[in-house]
Amino acid sequence: MTQHVAFLYPGQGTLPQEVVPAPTDLETLYGIAADAGLPLRDWIVAGDTERLTRTDAAQPAIFLDSVVRTALLQAAGVVPNVAAGHSLGEYAALVAAEVLAAEDALRLVLRRGVLMNGIPGGMAAVVKLDLERVRSLCGEIGPSVCVANHNGPTQVVVSGSAAGLEALAKVVKSQGGQALPLQVSGPFHSPFMRPAEVALAPEILRTPFSVPRVPIVSSVSGAAESDTTRLKALLATQITSCVRWMDVLGTLAVMGTTHAVEVGAGSVLTNLGRRATDRIRFVTYKEAVDGAL
């Protein structure tokens, strides 16, 4: 059977533990980050997690790691037929699809990380309850909480104020579920991030986008997208929009995707995919490099 390969790019939770040797043409990206006050290569080598876990540093570090791994996979003959990214990962997916130049994407990611850092609030992963039940519970509490990510059949991430998340945890427990606080710096993918969206959107809209070499499955729409105007509009609203990861996986399956490679340092998306569907074979970057495809 002919393989149809998706490259999947992780979000902010997957920090690189080592610096993957970069092709010469990508080495300059680390210099751009350093010029912005983020010597990411040095911090990764030193294992400086205190600095790297800050949103303004984590986002470019993960993005650069994904872009380098993409180049190495492609040099080894592993190329995508489609690409998708979970939140931050969408920027690396757009680079892989040749929609964005790596330098332009890095500039946007650097700005995104600064804007998203420090907005009050947090996130929690709700397990054992489905999307509609969690959405209903959020509605009962009010605008202080909302669904931020639909990651799996019974894994829904919510964002909100500290008080809202505390209230939600209590009602979730009463329904037989569990709300697990996430170590993030703000209420991502919620209306609370509107100031960051307003500041970043104009920069996205004036950045050059090219026609995708392969389709992009948007985490905002959950559908395959190829129109550059629409891709810009979706990315511009991404910070406040729910990450529809289950819809992304469903779209990939309908497209005939046979294998999905997590192009990052961890296995978060691999594990989510394996729990969500058996129609696609999910593999980590290491497994792909070792010949799993």
Q: What is the pLDDT of residues 254-292, one digit of tens each?
A: 999 999 999 999 999 999 999 999 999 999 999 999 887
Residue with the two structure tokens 């009962």: 140
For the chain, give every domain's residue range: 5-117+191-289, 122-181
How confident is the model over 62-103, as pLDDT tens digits? 999 999 999 999 999 999 999 999 999 999 999 999 999 999
How confident is the model over 19-46, as pLDDT tens digits? 998 888 888 999 999 999 999 999 999 9
Is 245 a residue whose pLDDT tops 90?
yes
Question: Right CATH number for 122-181 from 3.20.20.70, 1.10.240.10, 3.30.70.250, 3.40.50.720?
Answer: 3.30.70.250
Cβ-proximal residues to 265 (8 Å cutoff; 6+ apart), any chain:
10, 14, 15, 16, 17, 18, 62, 65, 285
Q: What are the beta bridge partners of residue 147?
A: 158
- Please say if 87 is a catalytic residue: yes
What stretches of 73-168 adopt beta strand conformation (E)? 82-85, 122-127, 145-152, 155-160
Matching CATH topology for 5-117+191-289 and 122-181?
no
Average pLDDT of the chain, as a whole number: 95
CATH class of domain segment(s) 5-117+191-289 = alpha beta
How confident is the model over 121-152, as pLDDT tens digits? 999 999 999 999 999 999 999 999 999 999 99
- pTM confidence score: 0.95
Query: Of these residues, 144, 189, 218, 219, which one is catalytic?
Result: 189
What pLDDT score does 1 carry?
A: 57
Is 114 a residue whose pLDDT tops 60?
yes
CA separation for the pair 230, 22 (Å, rounded) = 31
What is the average per-residue pLDDT within 236-250?
97
- Please say if 189 is a catalytic residue: yes
DSSP structure string for 5-19: EEEEE--TT---SS-
